[in-house]
Amino acid sequence: MAFLFTLADLAGFIALLLWGIRMVQTGVQRAFGARLRSFLGRALRTRATAFVAGLGVTAILQSSTATGLMVTGFAAAGLVDLAPALAVMLGANLGTTLIVQALSFDVAAVAPLLILAGVVMFRRAPAGPRDFGRVLIGLGLLLIALREMVSLLAPFEQAPGLRLMLTQIASQPVLDVLVAAVLTWAMHSSVAVVLLIMSLAGQGVVPPPAAFSLVLGANLGTAINPVLEGAGRGDPAAKRVPYGNLINRAVGVIAGLLALPYIGKLVFAVDQNQARAVADLHTLFNLVMAALFFPWLGAFARLLQLLLPARVDPADPARPRYLDPAALEMPVVALGAAAREALRLADVLESMLLGLRDAFQRGDRKHISETRRLGNVLDQLTTAIKAYISRLDPSSLSRADHHRLIEVLTFATNMKHAGDIVDRNLLALVAKKLKRGLVFDKEEQAELLGAIDRLIANVRVAASLLMTADDRAARLLANEKETFRQLEAFATESHFSRLRVGSPEAALASSLHLDALRDLQRVNAHLVAAAAYPVLEDNGVLLPTRLRD
C-alpha cells in the first residue's frame, strides 16, 4: 500500500513539473510570442542565423515542439527554404538542453522567492509584466516538483527489489529508448522527461547505462509531436521539416546506442554527479548531431525534396498556376506571371461576393461555409504571390520592374483585405441575421443586393485595370467611392427614421443592414486602392487630400 501511495505522489509531482513547464511556456508566448515568431521569421534567411534563432527561441520557450510547429508552418506556406528550416530544428534541439543544464544545479532554494515575485506581478502588474509573473510562478513550481521528486525517491535508492528490476531494464537499452520516447511524446516535453531521468539517476534509482538510454529516447520522442501535429498533413512537402528532424534524431539515437558503452564512461568520468552527467550527455548528444548534420543540410534538404515531393492537385483552387520558378531569372516574365496569378484573386473575390449575395438573398447557411473556404483560398494565393515576388533579385530589377512589382503587391494586398472583410465581417452579419431570425424589408434587401452587384462589377473593372492601366476606367472606379458614400449616408438616415417609428425587431434588422452597407463600402475602398489609385497617381491626376486649401 505504501508503494502505491508513493507512486501516486510521484505522479502528482510529475504533473506539477509539467504544469510548471506549461506555465513558463504560456507566459513567454503571451508576453513575447508574436515577437519571437517575427524574430524567427526574419532569421530564416541563412542556415547560421536560423540555427542561432532556433536555439534562442527554444531556450526561451522551453519547447522544441513549439519552435518546430512554427517553422513547419513557415515551410508549409512556402515562406522559407528547407535548409534554413532544418537548421532551426538543429538549434531548437540544442536549445532544450540549456534549461536542463540550468536546472541540473541545486537551485530549488529560490523557488519560494520566484513564486512570491510571480504572484505579486501576476496580481498587480499590467499585461506584459503579469505574463512574466506567470513565468516566475511556473519556474518556482518546476523547482519544487524536482526537489520533492528527489526527496520522494531517496528511500528507494537501496531497495533490493527495485534495484534488481532496474538492473534488468538497464540491460535492454532499446527498450529504454522506446519507453522514454513514448513518455516524451505523451508529455509533449523532452525537458520534463530528462529532468525526471536526472532525478532518478541522481538518487541511484536508475543506473547510468539505463539513464543514458532513456535520454536518447527522450531526444527521439520530442521529434514525434511535430510530425503528428504539423501543418499541411495532406501535402507531403509540408512534412519535410518534421520528418527531417525525426530522421536526424533517429540516426543520432542509433549511433548513440552503438557508442553508449564508451560515451557513458567518458561522461561519468568527467562529472561524478550522476544527475549532472545525464544533463551533460543530453547536451553532448545534441551538440554532436548539430555538428554532424549542419554541413550537409543542403544535400539533406534535396534528399527530403526527392522523397517527399510536393503534391500537385490541379483541382485545388489554392494552388498557384502561373508562378513558374524558372521565370525568376527574367524579372519581366516573373512579374507577368505574378500579375496573371493576381488576377485569380479577383476571380476568387468575385466568387465570395456571389456567395455573399446568395447567403443574404436565400438565407442558406451552406453558402456561408462555402464562401468562408474561398477566404482561405484567397489567403493562400496572396501568400504564394508575395513569396514568389520576394525571391526576385532586387539588383536585377529596373525602375519599371520595381514599379510593376509594387503595383502587383498593392493589388494582391488590397484584394486579400477585401476578402477578409467579406469573410470576417459580412459573413458574420449573415450568420447573425439567420441566428436571430431577422428579416430586411424590401427596400433594404434591394439596396443591399444592389450594392453587392455594384461591387461585383467593380471587381471586374479592377482586374482589367491591373492589365490595361486605362485612365478612363480608373476614373470610373474611383468615382464609385462617392456612390458608396452616398449609399451609406442614405442608409444611416433611413436607419434613424426606422428607430423612431419601427418596432425593436425592425430597428435591429435596420442596424444590421447599415453595418453590412458600411462593410461593403470598405470592400469598395480596397478595390479602388488596389487598381484605380495607382493608375491615377501615375497619370498625375490624383489629389493628395480631399481637403480644400
pLDDT in tens, 363-377: 766 677 778 888 888
**547 lies in some domain:** no
At a CB cut-off of 8 Å and minimum separation 6, what does 546 contact?
none
Shared domain for 86 and 226, answered yes or no, is yes
Residue 315's pLDDT is what? 58
Shared domain for 126 and 207, answered yes or no, is yes
DSSP 421: I
Residue 410's pLDDT is what? 93
Shared domain for 286 and 180, answered yes or no, is yes
Residue 500's pLDDT is what? 59
Shared domain for 424 and 524, answered yes or no, is yes
Using the predicted structure, report yes or no on whether residue 14 has a pLDDT greater than 80. Answer: no
- pLDDT tens across 422-447, in order? 988 888 888 888 877 777 778 888 88
**By the 8 A CB rule, do 412 and 385 touch?**
yes
Give the domain-ending residue among 263, 278, 307.
307
- Least confident window among 264-278, 298-312, 480-494, 530-544: 264-278
- Least confident window among 191-195, 248-252, 428-432: 191-195
| Interatomic CA distance for residues 29 and 16, integer angstroms | 20
Shared domain for 342 and 212, answered yes or no, is no
**241 lies in some domain:** yes
Cell numbers that stand for 311 in this block: 503534391
| pTM, two decimal places | 0.59
**320 lies in some domain:** no
**165 lies in some domain:** yes
Residue 369's pLDDT is what? 78
Percentage of the chain lying above the pLDDT 70 cut: 77
| Interatomic CA distance for residues 57 and 92, integer angstroms | 7
- Average pLDDT of 178-188? 79
Cell numbers that stand for 274 in this block: 550522476
Shared domain for 341 and 460, answered yes or no, is yes
**236 lies in some domain:** yes
Q: Which residue's entry shows cell 468615382?
A: 479
Residue 458's pLDDT is what? 93
Q: Is 308 or 533 the better-scoring residue by pLDDT? A: 533
- pLDDT tens across 266-320, in order? 666 666 677 777 888 888 888 888 888 888 888 888 888 888 876 655 556 777 8
Average pLDDT in the chain: 79
| Interatomic CA distance for residues 84 and 297, integer angstroms | 8
Residue 119's pLDDT is what? 83
Using the predicted structure, report yes or no on whether residue 131 has a pLDDT greater than 70. Answer: yes
| Interatomic CA distance for residues 270 and 266, integer angstroms | 6
Q: Is the dihedral of CA 280, 283, 289, 292 positive or negative?
A: negative
**545 lies in some domain:** no
Residue type, 544: P
Q: Based on the structure, what is the number of domains in the chain? A: 2
Helices of type H across 188-223: 190-202, 208-221
Q: Is 502 or 137 the better-scoring residue by pLDDT? A: 137
At a CB cut-off of 8 Å and minimum separation 6, what does 380 contact?
77, 318
Using the predicted structure, report yes or no on whether residue 412 has a pLDDT greater than 70. Answer: yes
Q: What angle do CA 240, 246, 248 make, to 5 degrees?
A: 100
Categorize the per-residue pLDDT at 461 as very low, low, confident or very high, splitting at 50, 70 and 90: very high
25-42 CB burial, b ≥16 within 10 A, e <16: bbbbbbbbbeebbeebee
Domain extent, residue 427, equals 325-538
Q: Which residue's entry shows cell 435591429?
A: 508
Q: Residues, the chain, total?
A: 549
Categorize the per-residue pLDDT at 525 as very low, low, confident or very high, splitting at 50, 70 and 90: very high
| Interatomic CA distance for residues 128 and 122, integer angstroms | 10
Using the predicted structure, report yes or no on whether residue 355 has a pLDDT greater than 60. Answer: yes
Residue 92's pLDDT is what? 84
**549 lies in some domain:** no
Taking Cα atoms as reference points, which of 308, 322, 194 lies closest to residue 242?
308
Shared domain for 235 and 285, answered yes or no, is yes
Residue 434's pLDDT is what? 80
- Average pLDDT of 164-179? 71
Q: Is 243 or 69 the better-scoring residue by pLDDT? A: 243
Cα distances (Å, whole numbers) of residue 549 to 543, 544, 545: 12, 11, 10
| Integer-rounded Cα radius of gyration of the chain | 30
Cell numbers that stand for 8 in this block: 501516486
Using the predicted structure, report yes or no on whether residue 216 has a pLDDT greater than 80. Answer: yes
Shared domain for 380 and 524, answered yes or no, is yes
Residue 98's pLDDT is what? 80
- pLDDT tens across 319-331, in order? 788 888 877 878 8
Cell numbers that stand for 252 in this block: 543520432
Shared domain for 264 and 384, answered yes or no, is no
End-to-end CA distance of the chain: 90
Categorize the per-residue pLDDT at 73 as very low, low, confident or very high, splitting at 50, 70 and 90: low
**By the 8 A CB rule, do 287 and 94 touch?**
yes
Shared domain for 234 and 354, answered yes or no, is no
Residue 29's pLDDT is what? 66
Residue 170's pLDDT is what? 58
Using the predicted structure, report yes or no on whether residue 152 has a pLDDT greater than 70. Answer: no
- Average pLDDT of 457-482? 90
Residue 459's pLDDT is what? 93
Shared domain for 287 and 184, answered yes or no, is yes
**By the 8 A CB rule, do 108 and 143 touch?**
yes
Percentage of the chain lying above the pLDDT 90 cut: 10
- Average pLDDT of 451-467? 92
Using the predicted structure, report yes or no on whether residue 191 has a pLDDT greater than 60. Answer: yes
Cα distances (Å, whole numbers) of residue 163 to 8, 166, 429: 20, 5, 67
Shared domain for 302 and 345, answered yes or no, is no
Taking Cα atoms as reference points, which of 249, 200, 212 lies closest to residue 65?
249
CATH number of the domain residue 482 falls in = 1.20.58.220
| Interatomic CA distance for residues 113 and 447, integer angstroms | 65
Q: How many CB atoms lie within 10 A of CB 138?
A: 24
**316 lies in some domain:** no
| Interatomic CA distance for residues 212 and 479, integer angstroms | 73
